[in-house]
Structure 1
């Protein structure tokens, strides 16, 4: 039977779906650059929002397909792995795509309220950053992970400076210098791995690394630890997080909100490289990061929450909370058990949404406080105390881990997964103490914002209230976090299955390198005339 045009289109869509999260923002950015932004900002806003909606739909479709357990492998140019470029969609990469797009869409809505007019090419740069983020989550080899790192970093360099300002230039110089050094280390680490293992394909590495012994294993361990440093810089792991608070605090609110996803690229890379390739079955190189990851993660959380308590501005407070949340995530990953990884993934999704919402919320609050602005000192009363106060309460309670919000569920999962581990007591002490101190810091900020009002400043410099567009973006992010509590059971089942799948190295290798009974996807080829039912061979 001949295929109809609709059937052919649907088949092409299904087969190319894995590459669309990368191609869509790339083509959108190119289109925007061709249009230009001097006279076409409203049109660019519409294009950006349509692209973000489509990206979210694609990500949700990939997540639903991945939940069935099969890996979707896309061989670019139909070159077989490990020689060609492959994109791999499993439960983890699909989850990260959904998380990225779920943050990007409301952030774009917020930026379209006026921030995108403070400089040139905001929307094109935003799309390039999405391309880098999505590419990092779907790539199947370490070299292309480096390539997508550079794409998202180059876009982030310019986005950080969007709107200009002395503080942004100062923070931007530090940010660029640190990340260029990390990129150089990335290349060194990747080169050492290629020299010892002979491949950079993640699936191929998963089967070759256990075979490396002797002196080459020592060199391989050194390369793995170099990559841990690189990913630690991206994720903001102690002592490599010092660049983050000033950088995120200096960025505009929508840029800082998107940057909440960027730290998770480092976390994701640690899972892929140190949790899978150098995991339990890596032979002489097994668990090379284990002695370092857990203690550094716990120390990161402690120092970050102390930094939050000492913060004198709202953006810096939220930036330190970003680091503290990363410490909690990496502490769970450092336990190297399936239950702990499931807890880390659930908590990572929650913390990303909450941190992104807080970056938007603090700007709304600062805009209504007159001369006090974002400083944590008495100022004018805000114009929308009930609405903004409720949003602040929800975000603070979830970030601190109060029931029944997802922050509580995620931390409870982390504590339960630590039971039986040699360092369980330290994990419990740090997670509970950091949660309590986070609550103290946010309660202090809330009391200053809503209760420590200077009467003589009432109405002075105060706006009439945030626009519905800005409020909708902020509410949607906080609402998505609350929704995670309602859907806690199916989400936990998904993260549990994700942790199990990550440890199933054999299925991953067979799917990417070729194996019987594993679903793979190749670039579309039109059916031959002699194919029965028009099926592709």
Structure 2
């Protein structure tokens, strides 16, 4: 039974999401109950997966009992279990916040939310690089609709740019997969890592081109400079619970970079070993610098939090580019911290905007605000947490 737990983070949100989409015109209360129950169950399952992976043993689940490298496999290790658990924890808070009223703005909110969870969890668990593309598409299709939940000019414009850029990224992803499959003859990541190490010298240029194409795609998902310009507007325009879940979306890109360029193009890749590390270092520093300027120049709390996510992306990418055990351990510790803090700040910025009325979340003095000190105190705590003052987790990371 424990062996089948690996597939449940994909199967559970898929079934609950489809059930709510089929009955999308039904009463809202049952859909809220299904969404909360399903997400809470997902958190319990992901916690069990963390415990299961704690021994350090890597386990896999062969769908249809087709064994690798020919079949589709899901792979569970400490990293994938951690990311699924982090996603479930963030999602539960986002769903609970949405049930306070944000989900009334569209009948499909909870169903699409669950399908996005399915795509995110699948991206973290897959051991096949083509199915990484498939799960990317699932989470992106759901996120397109969630971004425009409730309508409005700003969301429509941000959604159009978001869709256009990600469609271009999907096309490049497929081209990169074609190049890699044509040179290695496999799409299983573990098998591909062995094939890359044994490539003929005349194939190195072709597979390096495919690897660089993948880096562009993952950089777009992670919002790395110069591919980050879509993120501030999209995240600041999205409904608060959607933006909170989007805090994990950039981490999917970071995870893909970490997984692909340490497993396939890591130390055992021969002449291609760690060839992207110098590029990652400079992209990381540039993302940090531009993200910092965005935070300082922001005139809206939601926009400010969106730029804080870019700072976290740059910080995480610095850890990836160092390619040593200690920075990678710090990266994973900091990833938990920054994801939860960023998601919470999106919800808090929305609560402040709702309370202030016409002034909204703009960074200007508000009038007619009831209990301003309480939410102001919460935002101050969130800002201190972002800074990472000791003994908070950001300082330790």
TM-score (norm 1): 0.73
Bigger mean CA offset, 168-177 vs 201-210: 201-210
Alpha-carbon deviations, 1:368-402, whole Å to 9, x = none? 22321111112125423343233212211111121
Output one character per residue of 1:398-420: Cα deviation in whole Å (capped at 9) or x when no partner. 1112111111111xxxxxxxxxx
Partner of 1:27: 15
Q: 1:346 is matched with which residue?
A: 333
SS of 2:74 mapped into structure 1: strand
SS of the residue 1:334 aligns to: helix
CA displacement at 1:97 relative to structure 2? 0.4
Helix, strand or coil at the partner of 1:368: helix
- The alignment partner of 2:6 has SS state of coil
TM-score (norm 2): 0.98
Aligned to 1:502: none
What's the secondary structure of 1:369's corresponding residue?
Answer: helix
**Deviation of 1:301 (Å):** 0.7
Contact 1:212-1:284 at 8 Å conserved across structures:
no
1:321 and 2:308 aligned: yes
Q: Is the 8 A contact 1:368 1:381 kept in 2?
A: no
* Structure 1 residue 39 displacement after superposition: 3.2
CA deviation profile, 1:127-160 (whole Å, cap 9, x unmatched) = 0000000000000110000000000000000000
Alignment of 1:236-251 (within 5 A): 236-251=223-238
Stretches of 4+ aligned residues off by more than 2 angstroms: 381-387
State which structure, 1 or 2, has the greater radius of gyration over its C-alpha atoms.
1
Q: Is the CA contact 2:299–2:362 (under 8 Å) kept in the aligned structure 1?
A: yes
CA distance in 2, matches of 1:237, 1:361: 25
Corresponding residue number in structure 2 for 1:525: none
Contact 1:209 1:277 in 2 (8 A): yes
Q: Following the alignment from structure 2 to structure 1, what is the Cα–Cα distance between the partners of residues 145 and 85?
A: 25
Distance 2:25 2:371 in 1: 34
Deviations 1:414-454 (A, max 9, x none): xxxxxxxxxxxxxxxxxxxxxxxxxxxxxxxxxxxxxxxxx
* Structure 1 residues without counterparts, runs of 5 or longer: 1-12, 411-537
Gaps of 5+ in 2: none
User: Are 1:231 and 1:267, in contact at CA under 8 Å, matched by a contact in 2?
Assistant: yes
CA–CA separation in structure 1 for the residues paired with 2:107 and 2:151 = 11
In 2, the alpha carbon distance for the partners of 1:203 and 1:240 equals 28
Q: CA deviation at 1:38?
A: 2.5
C-alpha separation in 1, matches of 2:124 and 2:267:
22
User: Which residue number in structure 2 is paired with residue 255 of structure 1?
Assistant: 242
Per the alignment, residue 17 of structure 1 pairs with: 5
Match in the other structure for 2:219: 232
Distance 2:371 2:14 in 1: 39
Please name the residue that 1:72 is paired with: 59
Deviation (angstroms), 1:40: 1.8
Supply the distance in 2 between the matched residues of 1:338 and 1:148 (Cα, whole angstroms).
28
Q: Distance in 2 between matches of 1:199 and 1:324?
A: 36
Q: In structure 2, how many angstroms separate the alpha carbons of the residues matched to 1:366 and 1:215?
A: 59
Q: Following the alignment from structure 2 to structure 1, what is the Cα–Cα distance between the partners of residues 354 and 37?
A: 29
**Higher RCO structure, 1 or 2 (CA under 8 Å, sep 6+):** 1
- In structure 1, the residue matched to 2:88 is 101
Compute the RMSD of aligned alpha carbons. Answer: 1.0
Q: Distance in 1 between the 2:247 and 2:86 partners?
A: 11
- CA contact 1:17–1:58 (8 Å) conserved in 2: yes
Which residue is 1:363 aligned to? Answer: 350
SS of residue paired to 2:34: helix
Conservation of the 8 A alpha-carbon contact between 1:271 and 1:333: yes
Whether the 8 Å contact between 2:190 and 2:263 is mirrored in structure 1 is no
- CA deviation after TM superposition for structure 1 residue 126, in Å: 0.2
Q: For the Cα contact (< 8 Å) 1:224–1:288, is it kept in 2?
A: no
